Structures are given as structure tokens and as C-alpha cells.
């Protein structure tokens, strides 16, 4: 039986938020309610961060009220605070490392995760997701423990890039197991909802879904969690950049002028929320002809490097426009995983090593050698 949003709102009217009996829908704190085609229900409750403890039982009651409805297949309810970028925020949970700007990052640190790094782009289609996947795999090839969170809520592509399907396992209440993608831990909104559903989400919904994927997934111990951000530099991206305890951000750009202007906006956005820029990557930089080996600069060349210098951010490297990269990504077999010693993987590995060194202030750490006594 198809459920409607009105059915859900009616069920939520049984939940009151104060002693005078104000119902949740009447309180003005309920976000847009979304019911997906499989009768999964998603909503968030808007709160001030100081109200989190008082509202947690209300959130659970709201979840219970919806779960009790006939036909519902799941509930995704969360508490969201819509703190504006200029409002004061709690001090960062961790002191910033040397060289990092101290700033108004609101998200508390994720226990067990050393660094969270956003891979962002000023616009879609520049190869952000392809780069995020291959960089994550290259970091893993260095012996680091790596997770990849696909936060590109409007167009999750990580399941396809890794050839992963199916639903993540629920380990215990409100805790999901990440999927395994060539040895790294992977989570994507694409595993959880129908692709069309997220398209209609607004800022607070997007943020709460991402917060949930950050905090309600059993990431375990990680050296680095790579976050594939939604493309662009709008409010949703800004809020996310602020709400996630990021150690830094990487901006992917093509050499085209237009993309560079967008990349500049990306740098400005992260600076606004005091997230250090770990570097700019130029993707689709050169085209090397597979037949004759001649390289052509189809979109111009060197723009991203020059722009990085102008903006005073590190330049991490260039990735060529390459048929193998496209074919392997589109086939769900990322090039760094399937041809780890090939020329393309080498490029990602060099960039990953530089990225890690910019992040940790030292050379890439490898897993400690195991001493075997025979």
C-alpha cells in the first residue's frame, strides 16, 4: 500500500514536544517529510545544538510512531541544527595541527578516524568522484586504513564506480556496516535510498543524511576518511563543509577557464569555514593519443597550477584524460584497484602521497612491519 506524507504527518501528531502538548508537526520543527517508493520515511527535527539531549527521546518517539504505521519499511529520523555559517560555534573538538587554520568547525570529531578529507569541485562532471575513488584506493595501497563516504547526495556514483550493489548490513540498532570496495570501507547514500528520492531534499535533510552516514556507520579505526562531496558551492555544500569535522579539502578542476572559476569558488567556500585546502588537482589535463603517444592539451594546460599558485594553495598534480580511466570507472573496476602498477595508478599514487604528506606533515605512513619469528 502506498503511504503518503500526510499519513506520516498524521502519525507524528501523536508526538508532543513540550508539557503544553505542542505536537511535532505544529511545532514548526519538522523538516520536509519524504516517503520513498519502497515506503521508507525520512525526516529531521530542527533543533538548536543545545537542545540535543532534550530532543533525542522525542526523536525516538517520532521514529517509533512512524514505525508503528502499517506498511512502513523503514525510518530515517534525525536531529538537525541549522547553524548559519556566521553564527558562533563550539570550539573544534581537536586542536588544529600546526599550519592548519583554527576555525568554526561545528562537527565533533569522529572517534577512531584520524582525518576526514573532502574531495570537492565547483561544478559537476569534472571527474570528482573518479578522482575521490582512485585517491582513496591509492592511499590504501600506501598501507593506510581508508574509508570512502559518498556524500554526493544528488548523484551518488560511488556504488557504480566500485561495482557495488545491495544494502549495507545493520549491525545493531542505528549502526550500519560499511561495504567493502577493493579493501576500503565504502558507504554511499546510493545504498540506502532510491536514486530519485534525494533529488527533492533540501539543505537540512541533506545535512542530516550525511551526518547520519558519518556517525551511524561502523567505520572503525581509519587513518583517513575520504568524503566525495556534492558538486558545487551552494548553501548545502557550505553547511556540510561546516558541519563535518574536516581536516582539509581537495579541489578537483579541469583546465577549462570556467571550471577554474568554479574551483576558485570552492577554495573561497572552504576558507570561509576555516577548512584548510590540501591542494588542487587538475583532472583531464592532457590527452595522450593511445595510437601515437602524442599528447594534446585539449582544454588548455597549466591553468589549475597557475590558479593554485595565485590562490596560495598547494598544487597536487595532473591527471590525464585517459580512456583506461574512463572505461575502468564506468565498469565498476577503478584503475588503481585493477592495475595498481600501471601508469594511471602511478599518477594517483603520487598525488595521494603528496596529499597525505600535506595532511600529516610527514611522509606517508605505512603499516608497521610485522616481525615474524620462525
Residues between 153 and 212 that touch ligand ADP (CB under 6 A): 157
Nearer to ligand ADP, 135 or 176 (CB): 135
Nearest distance from C-beta of residue 246 to ligand ADP, angstroms: 18
Q: Which of 107, 122, 127, 156 binds ligand ADP (CB under 6 A)?
A: 127
CA distances from residue 171 to 148, 174, 181, 218 in whole angstroms, order as listed: 19, 8, 18, 8
Please, what's the largest Cα pairwise distance for the chain?
78
Nearest alpha carbon to residue 208 among 338, 55, 329? 55
User: Cβ 126 to ligand ADP, closest distance in Å?
Assistant: 4
Q: Does 130 bind ligand ADP (CB under 6 A)?
A: yes
Q: Are 217 and 178 in contact (CB under 8 A)?
A: yes
Q: Which is nearer to ligand ADP, 25 or 124 (CB)?
A: 124
Helix (H, G, I), strand (E, B) or coil at 42: strand
The distance of closest approach from Cβ of residue 162 to ligand ADP in the complex, given in angstroms and rounded to an integer, is: 12
Q: Which of residues 282-311 bind ligand ADP (CB under 6 A)?
A: 283-284
64 near ligand ADP, judged by CB under 6 A: no
Among 8, 135, 308, 325, which residue interacts with ligand ADP (rule: CB under 6 A)? 325
Asked if 253 touches ligand ADP (CB under 6 A), the answer is no
Shortest approach of ligand ADP to residue 232 CB, angstroms? Answer: 10
Stretch that binds ligand ADP, among 66-74, 87-95, 300-308, 316-324 (CB under 6 A): 316-324
Cell triple for 272: 570561509
CA distance 314 to 63: 46
3-state secondary structure of 269: helix
Q: Which three three-digit cell numbers place residue 256?
A: 577549462
* Binding piece for ligand ADP, criterion CB under 6 A, among 55-63, 118-126, 207-215, 291-299: 118-126
Which residue is associated with the grid cell 583517513?
224
Candidate list 46, 326, 340, 360; residue touching ligand ADP; CB under 6 A = 326
Shortest approach of ligand ADP to residue 11 CB, angstroms?
38
In angstroms, rounded to a whole number, what is the distance separating the alpha carbons of residues 75 and 1? 16
Q: Which stretch binds ligand ADP (CB under 6 A): 40-48, 128-136, 207-215, 298-306?
A: 128-136
Q: How far apart are CA 235 and CA 212, in angstroms?
A: 19
Strand pairing report for 277-288 and 34-35: unpaired
Residue at shortest CB range from ligand ADP: 127
126 or 308: CB nearest ligand ADP: 126
d(CA 41, CA 123): 30
Cell of 340: 595498481
Integer Cα distance of 118 and 273 in angstroms: 13
In the structure, how many helices (H) and strands (E) does the chain have?
Answer: 12, 14
* Interface region with ligand ADP, contact rule CB under 6 A, candidates 43-51, 92-100, 165-173, 324-332: 324-332
Burial of 160 (0-12, 13-18, 19+ CB in 10 A): middle
By CB under 6 A, which span of 101-109, 121-129, 184-192, 353-361 interacts with ligand ADP? 121-129
CB proximity list for 374: less than 8 A, separation 6 or greater: none
Q: Does 332 bind ligand ADP (CB under 6 A)?
A: no
Rounded to whole angstroms, how far apart are CA atoms 224 and 365? 12
Residue with Cβ nearer ligand ADP (33 or 260): 260
Identity of the residue, 233 or 329, whose beta carbon is nearer to ligand ADP in the bound complex: 329
Which residues of the shown chain bind ligand ADP in the complex (CB under 6 A)? 121, 124-130, 157, 231, 283-284, 319, 321-322, 325-326, 329-330
Amino acid at each position: 500500500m502506498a503511504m503518503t506524507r500526510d499519513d506520516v504527518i498524521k502519525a507524528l501528531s501523536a508526538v508532543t514536544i513540550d508539557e503544553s502538548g505542542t505536537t511535532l508537526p505544529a511545532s514548526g520543527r519538522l523538516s520536509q517529510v519524504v516517503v520513498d517508493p519502497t515506503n521508507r520515511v525520512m525526516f529531521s527535527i530542527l533543533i538548536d545544538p543545545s537542545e540535543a539531549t532534550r530532543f533525542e527521546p522525542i526523536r525516538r518517539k517520532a521514529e517509533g510512531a512512524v514505525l508503528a504505521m502499517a506498511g512502513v519499511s523503514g525510518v530515517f529520523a534525525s536531529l538537525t541544527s541549522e547553524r548559519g555559517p556566521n553564527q558562533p560555534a563550539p570550539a573544534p573538538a581537536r586542536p588544529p595541527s600546526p599550519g592548519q587554520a583554527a576555525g568554526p568547525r561545528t562537527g565533533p570529531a569522529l572517534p577512531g578516524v584520524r582525518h576526514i578529507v573532502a574531495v570537492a569541485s565547483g561544478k559537476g562532471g569534472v571527474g570528482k568522484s573518479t578522482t575521490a575513488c582512485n585517491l582513496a584506493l591509492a592511499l590504501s595501497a600506501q598501507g593506510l586504513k581508508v574509508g570512502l563516504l559518498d556524500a554526493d547526495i544528488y548523484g551518488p556514483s560511488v556504488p557504480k564506480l566500485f561495482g557495488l550493489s545491495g544494502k549495507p548490513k545493520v549491525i545493531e540498532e542505528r549502526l550500519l556496516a560499511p561495504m567493502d570496495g577493493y579493501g576500503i570501507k565504502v558507504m554511499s547514500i546510493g545504498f540506502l535510498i532510491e536514486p530519485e528520492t534525494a533529488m527533492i531534499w533540501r539543505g537540512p535533510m541533506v545535512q542530516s543524511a550525511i551526518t547520519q552516514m558519518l556517525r551511524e556507520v561502523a567505520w572503525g579505526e581509519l587513518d583517513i576518511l575520504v568524503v566525495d562531496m556534492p558538486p558545487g558551492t551552494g548553501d548545502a555544500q557550505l553547511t556540510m563543509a561546516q558541519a563535518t569535522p574536516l581536516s582539509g579539502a581537495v579541489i578537483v578542476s579541469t583546465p577549462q577557464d570556467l571550471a577554474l572559476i568554479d574551483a576558485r569558488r570552492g577554495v573561497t567556500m572552504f576558507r570561509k569555514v576555516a577548512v584548510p585546502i590540501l591542494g588542487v588537482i587538475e583532472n583531464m589535463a592532457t590527452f595522450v593519443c593511445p595510437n601515437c603517444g602524442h599528447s594534446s592539451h585539449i582544454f588548455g594546460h597549466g591553468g589549475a597550477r597557475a590558479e593554485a599558485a595565485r590562490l596560495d594553495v598547494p598544487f597536487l598534480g595532473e591527471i590525464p584524460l585517459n580512456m583506461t580511466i574512463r572505461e575502468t570507472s564506468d565498469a565498476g573496476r577503478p584503475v588503481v584497484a585493477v592495475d595498481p602498477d600501471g601508469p594511471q595508478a602511478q599518477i594517483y599514487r603520487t598525488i595521494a602521497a603528496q596529499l597525505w604528506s600535506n595532511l600529516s606533515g610527514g611522509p606517508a605512513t605505512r603499516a608497521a612491519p610485522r616481525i615474524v619469528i620462525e
